[in-house]
Amino acid sequence: MEFEPSKVPIQPLSTIRHKCSACFKQYKKKEHLIEHIKASYHSVHDPKCGVCNKHCKSFESLREHVAGPLSKVNCSSIFAERGCILCLKICSSVDSLDEHKEICHLTTPRPIDTIEMLYSEDGVDKSNGLSSIRSREAVAIDCEMVGGGSDCSLDLCARVCLVDEDEKLIFHTFVLPQIPVTDYRYEITGMTEVNLRDAMPLNEVRERILQILHNGESISRVRLDGGRAKLLVGHNLEKHLDCLKMNYPDHLWRDTATYRPLMKTNFVSHSLKYLTKTYLGYDIQVGSHDPYQDSVSVMRLYKKIRSQDHPMEGTIRASNSPALSFSSSSDPWKSMAHENMTPKELLEISRSNYKCWCLDSRDAAQR
């Protein structure tokens, strides 16, 4: 049977689209949305637009969303009026933004030459003989490195600095490398041969640092769950620990170079200089590097991220399947009927693939 051209039946096009509640991507099929949620690891810890609530994978992508050349008109206009250029928070009014800036915009730390070290040489607090670092807090580290080897390419630790959460200098010393120095990298380190004449041997430096970090805890407990040991904050910690020839459990690392929300959109690390200017609002490493300024800056970055107030990831029940629930420690994708869940419910059971630093505050409160 043939139809006249004008009478050929028109098949209605399906207009059903399945939209991700986090990043707003749309899919024709529900199973494609489910696979997207599984692969994207969206969670309550994602950087999120304060206007449209879109989830972003990093603060850099969030910045592009609210202030970039291709930003959404509504989001960019509100952000331009009431948004903090550093932490990307949207304030309720212009007046509250001004108050927020007084807290969020920080000043450059003082140079290390003007700072008094909190500890005496035996690692004890000068004021009362007890450690001033409260239990389960963080310690920030920065190492300055000189060159070794025939081509000067070996990184040798020549100076190390540790600060606590109150930005107090708890350990600082020049370090005597175990092999001859072939390049003092003066433009970066500001050091010469004179600085290392009476420097502390590397083995002794490592012992002092581990004494501070372990905080009286046994090595086995430190490796297991940390116990009373300190969190170690730094930028490119693997490089610092390598030049110190020191091991410390990576579950106690807090590295601003590899923390996903602080990385580029392609998950390449930013420099500490960039992160400090972008998120803290001041310049460092102008001329030679100051280890105290660097360690304080990395500590400030950590504390700013840790202070985020994200919702708790508790037990979630699907509204159409009240008998199904899961705990935050179980795998929700193995136990729930995903085909019957709404996009919002799919987002609720999704979990991030990194540990958000805001959880450090909750862990400390539960101890």
Given a cut of 60, whether residue 170 has pLDDT beyond it is yes
Instruction: Answer yes or no: do 289 and 171 share one domain.
Output: yes
Per-residue confidence at 243, pLDDT binned at 50, 70, 90? very high
Range of the domain at 201: 112-306
CA dist., res. 190 & res. 195, Å (int): 10
Half-sphere exposure of 31 (CA within 13 A, CB side): 0
In a domain, 121, yes or no: yes
**What does the pLDDT average to over 109-119?**
85
Nearest alpha carbon to residue 276 among 102, 45, 86: 86
**What does the pLDDT average to over 204-217?**
96
pLDDT score, position 70:
87
Inter-helix orientation angle 94-104/73-82, to 10°: 70
> What average pLDDT does the chain have?
87
Instruction: Answer yes or no: do 36 and 180 share one domain.
Output: no
Per-residue pLDDT tens over the stretch 34-93: 999 999 999 999 999 999 999 999 999 999 999 999 888 999 999 999 999 999 999 999
CATH number at residue 254: 3.30.420.10
In a domain, 225, yes or no: yes
For the entire predicted model, the pTM comes to: 0.87
Q: Among 24-33, 121-130, 342-351, which is the least confidently predicted range? A: 121-130
Per-residue burial over 97-121, b if 16 or more Cβ lie within 10 Å, else e, is beebeeebebebbeebeebebbbee
In a domain, 91, yes or no: yes
Percent of the chain with pLDDT over 70: 83
pLDDT score, position 115:
87
How many domains, in total, are found in the chain?
Answer: 3
Instruction: Answer yes or no: do 141 and 260 share one domain.
Output: yes
Q: Determine contact, residues 111/290, Cβ cutoff 8 Å.
A: yes
pLDDT score, position 121:
44
CA dist., res. 13 & res. 306, Å (int): 48
DSSP 61: H
pLDDT score, position 117:
81
Instruction: Answer yes or no: do 245 and 150 share one domain.
Output: yes
Per-residue confidence at 366, pLDDT binned at 50, 70, 90? low
In a domain, 47, yes or no: yes
pLDDT score, position 182:
95
Domain termination residue (choose one: 104, 131, 154): 104
**What does the pLDDT average to over 236-262?**
97
Given a cut of 70, whether residue 250 has pLDDT beyond it is yes
Instruction: Answer yes or no: do 120 and 97 share one domain.
Output: no
Instruction: Answer yes or no: do 270 and 226 share one domain.
Output: yes
Per-residue confidence at 256, pLDDT binned at 50, 70, 90? very high
Given a cut of 90, whether residue 337 has pLDDT beyond it is no
Percent of the chain with pLDDT over 90: 73
